[in-house]
Amino acid sequence: MTDAAAIRDRLKNLPTPTLKELFDADPQRLSALTGRIGWGEGQTAGSILFDWSKTHLDEVHLGAFEELADAMDFAGRRDVLLTGGIANPTEGRAAQHTAERGIGSDAAVEEADALHQRMKLLVGAIRAGELGEVKHLIHIGIGGSALGPACALAMLARDIDAPLIDVHVVSNIDGCALEDAMHGCDPKTTMIAVASKTFTTTETMTNATSALDWLRENGVADPYGRVVALTASPEKAVEWGVDETRVLPFSETVGGRYSLWSSIGFPVAIALGWDEFEAVLAGAQAVDIHFRDTDARANLPLRAAFADQLYTRLRGCQTRAVFAYDERLKLFPDYLQQLEMESNGKLVTMDGKPVDGPTAPITWGGVGTDAQHAVFQLLHQGTVTVPVDFIASIAPGDALPDEHHRILLTNCFAQGAALMAGKGSDDPARSYPGNRPSATILCDDMDAATLGALIAFHEHRTFCNAVLMGINPFDQFGVELGKQIAKEIESGKGEGFDPSTEALLEAAGLK
């Protein structure tokens, strides 16, 4: 048995006191299981408090998980990640998203800086009207090329009273998505951003072609003159027809779901201005520095991964839920879904062997308080345990009477308390078992730096989970087969599918 397998075995056989028993047994529990990451001068410009005290982690778990991190070479793999080594061995490349935030090898940071400068110039020129009047931007991309900008804009754009340029993010190949965006835009003043790392993704290229046709049909003589390309394949963008001066490249070593920080963040900078985009990067950098410089015991992304491993691997929880008690974070659970499930939904370890337990849980969630009135019944009384993360901001985002935010926050904290405490009753239908875990992520405010910090925290948490399971979080071969079959069907070359698929194609008139 390897060291790691022996530690996992030991972890599996630890006693399982209830949350109440854990609190009763350790008066220091709260301070031992909370931590804070801050940023700005003296780390006072903003911060996030993380509280895992309502999870079943205790000193014994922390010690054993630390040993596991050691056995899985956490420090070595972190070093490879942050210094531009081959963090993604199946594709033979580095994973240099942190270099976009100034943390990485000198060469990668220098390259990212130069590309940011190029992006800043173009953003400045467009916002200053130097490329003609631009009132709308349709950002076309999918997956990592859309979710980051969409999530950031949902969170930050409401603070702007009269946006200089209004941005629509379109991802789905379903024409309804692009049509909806077109309805909100005047073609004469619309710019199109085509965001694709590979510049080959069917949905994006089809939507981009239709958007250009729409410009043309509405009197724009040179529709390609209205296109900006955001890509790691600049030569493909130029070949497709985008003028080289409007191609904003990013490094091949930045993964799609890790790419908000690169030129994929263009719509954020266009809508909110360069300073806001830089603030997002700065918040992320604060977390990178904490992650890089803090040893295992106090490393908060690693701590979060310990809790994830406890529930997924040791207690068999198949899902984890994230509830943002903040309307501005409504797309954050979707963002985390791609980040975590596309990164860690894997069957094999780094060396290609079958993984010896469950990997990524299903990440799901929503917005509080809405979700309380829809899905929380299962969290409180369902037969499965779902570890929950609550995310909230101390400062309100609205200017309505204080009671809105007060009720929002009290509900958030009440849910965590209720999940933990439960309540007995003579009537089984009215009884709550309690002892259900949750963690709380409490932000000072929900601003650009906080967004950057929250996303970077979850990137590193995802990486730490991968390290503890011995898997590669940076490839995603699982998405390819479905794409390939769709292409075969589309090109008319697909033959001999199963009877069900053949009948569906027939019924829909596709054969």
Q: Looking at 141-149, 236-244, 383-391, 429-437, which segment touches ligand F6P (CB under 6 A)?
A: 141-149
Stretch near ligand F6P under the rule CB under 6 A, chosen from 139-147, 294-302, 379-387, 411-419: 139-147
- Closer CB to ligand F6P, residue 196 or residue 440? 196
Cβ contacts of residue 469 below 8 Å, gap of 6+? Answer: 309, 313, 344, 349, 355, 357, 359
Q: Which CB sits closer to ligand F6P, 16 or 484?
A: 484
Residue choice 47, 83, 88, 196 for contact with ligand F6P (CB under 6 A): 196
Q: Which of 144, 368, 473, 494 binds ligand F6P (CB under 6 A)?
A: 144
* Residue 413 identity: F
Q: How far apart are CA 84 and CA 461, in angstroms?
A: 19
* CB-CB contact of 387 with 435 (8 Å): no
Decide the pairing of beta strands 46-51 and 438-443: antiparallel
Judged by CB under 6 A, the chain residues 232 through 271 that form the site for ligand F6P are 256-257
Q: Minimum CB separation from ligand F6P for residue 200, in Å?
A: 7
Query: Applying CB under 6 A, which of residues 145, 207, 343, 465 lies at the interface with ligand F6P?
Result: 145
**Interface stretch with ligand F6P, choices 37-45, 142-150, 301-309, 433-441 (CB under 6 A):** 142-150
Q: 491 by DSSP, 3-state: which?
A: coil
Closest residue to ligand F6P: CB criterion: 256
**Residue 300: strand, helix, or coil:** helix
User: Rounded to the nearest whole angstrom, what is the least distance from the CB of residue 193 to ligand F6P in the complex?
Assistant: 12
> Measured from the CB atom, is 88 or 145 closer to ligand F6P?
145
Catalytic machinery residues: 342, 373, 483
State the minimum distance, in angstroms, from the CB of residue 498 to ligand F6P.
Answer: 23
479 contributes a contact to ligand F6P by CB under 6 A = yes
Q: Is residue 71 within 8 Å of residue 4, measured between CB atoms? A: yes
- Closest approach of Cβ 181 to ligand F6P, in Å? 18
Q: Answer yes or no whether residue 476 interacts with ligand F6P by CB under 6 A.
A: yes
Interface residue with ligand F6P, options 189, 198, 294, 369 (CB under 6 A): 198
The residue (of 263 and 438) whose beta carbon lies closer to ligand F6P is 263
Compare residues 251 and 309 and give the one whose CB is closer to ligand F6P. 251
Binding mask 317-346 for ligand F6P (x = CB under 6 A): -------------------------x----
Counting every residue written for the chain, the total comes to 511
Q: Is 102 in the site for ligand F6P (CB under 6 A)?
A: no
**Given the rule CB under 6 A, which of 75-83, 132-140, 196-204, 457-465 is the region that contacts ligand F6P?**
196-204
Cis amide leading into 190 (omega within 30): no
Give me the least distance between CB of 507 and ligand F6P, in Å please: 27
Among 143, 366, 387, 437, the residue binding ligand F6P under the rule CB under 6 A is 143
How far from 281 is each of 55, 102, 151, 447, 470, CA to CA, in Å? 30, 9, 15, 12, 29
CA neighbours closer than 13 Å in the CB half-sphere of residue 142? 17
438 near ligand F6P, judged by CB under 6 A: no
Smallest separation, CB 287 to ligand F6P (Å): 21
User: Nearest Cα to 225, choosing from 207, 210, 208, 243?
Assistant: 243
C-beta separation of 303 from 50 below 8 A: yes
Tokens of 112: 């990212």
CA distances from 263 to 115, 193, 243 (A): 8, 10, 16
DSSP symbols for 396-445: -S--S-THHHHHHHHHHHHHHHHHHH-B--SSGGG-B-----EEEEEES-
Is 184 strand, coil or helix? coil
> Do 22 and 56 meet the contact criterion of CB atoms below 8 Å apart?
yes
Please report how close the Cβ of residue 264 comes to ligand F6P at its closest, in angstroms: 8
Burial tier of 240 (Cβ tally within 10 Å: 0-12, 13-18, 19+): buried
- Nearest approach, Cβ of residue 186 and ligand F6P (Å): 27
User: Judged by CB under 6 A, does residue 207 bind ligand F6P?
Assistant: no
Interface with ligand F6P (CB under 6 A): 142-145, 196-198, 201, 204, 256-257, 342, 476, 479
